[in-house]
Homo-oligomer: A and B are copies of this chain.
Amino acid sequence: MEYTVQKLAQLAGVSSRTLRYYDEIGILNPARINASGYRIYGPAEVDRLQQILFYKELGFRLEQIKQIVTDPGFDRTRALQEHRQQLLAERKRLDVLIHNVEKTIAFMEGKQTMTDKDKFEGFKEQLIEENEKKYGEEIRAKYGDEVVDRSNEKLKNMTQEQFEKFKHLEKEIKTTLAKAFKNGDPASDIAQRAAHLHKQWLTHCWDNYNKEAHAGLAQMYVDDPRFTAYYDEEQPGMAKFLRDAIHIYTGFKR
């Protein structure tokens, strides 16, 4: 059986360019060249191509394969052993690369969480600063420096998780309060739940919670316009409503 380039290429699953290249580098010459200059391959060439492709699949370079398939006295087993060593060395190199890449990734992620932490610390400090600016004077006058400093200290020592819960509580209080405000009853279940949430929120700031102080704080929300503004932001009257709810919740009235 005889084949032209294309036929042999299809038979072996390679491109015709590949066969011409193999002819060029002398690893697989056609059996003969016909009158029109076409390359004609015979069964011996098919066999040799099979061998070439076999060694190529094992990752050999063509120059090596050339020696293997042209010199019948070539020590194939030794070539395979050496090739194996090369592959092992290459894999070792890859392992080192992978290890280093992973170390770098870990390092960068470390940096990332570090900056995240920094950001988080920044948030807390910013919050404290804002609080001081907005309510500091009034609050310090009312509760004394120690209480306020302790509260700020507690905030600073919060973990990210605690801090997030804290901020989440703030939101929950506002939404719950808004819902409760609609039916207008500070003694309703939902208003009382808002008061309860507010208590939980407070424990994030206060070392020791007591109902009296809670009720006092609620009163201040109404007395001090800055606090009133915070709760009345969405709906006017909310600060008063919260105070009433908390007074019912605590059983104290001042």
Contacts and interface: CB of A to CB of B under 8 A. Distances in A.
Most chain B CB within 10 A, of A76, A94, A112, is at: A94
A88 B102 CA distance: 11
A145 interface: no
Contacts of A95: 91
B108 A84 contact: no
B109 A98 contact: no
Contacts of A97: 58-59, 87
A96 B108 CA distance: 32
Contacts of A101: 58-59, 80, 83-84, 87
Given A91-B95, A94-B91, A95-B91, A84 B105 contact: yes
Contacts of A94: 59, 87, 90-91, 94
A18 interface: no
A175 interface: no
Interface in A34-89: 57-59, 76-77, 80-81, 83-84, 87-88
Given A91-B95, A98-B87, A101-B84, A112 B77 contact: yes
User: Nearest 8 CB-CB pairs, A to B?
Assistant: A59-B97, A91-B94, A84-B101, A87-B98, A80-B105, A58-B101, A77-B108, A87-B97
14 contacts: A58-B97, A58-B101, A58-B104, A59-B94, A59-B101, A80-B108, A84-B98, A84-B102, A84-B105, A87-B94, A87-B97, A87-B101, A90-B94, A94-B94
Interface of A: 57-59, 76-77, 80-81, 83-84, 87-88, 90-91, 94-95, 97-98, 100-102, 104-105, 108-109, 112
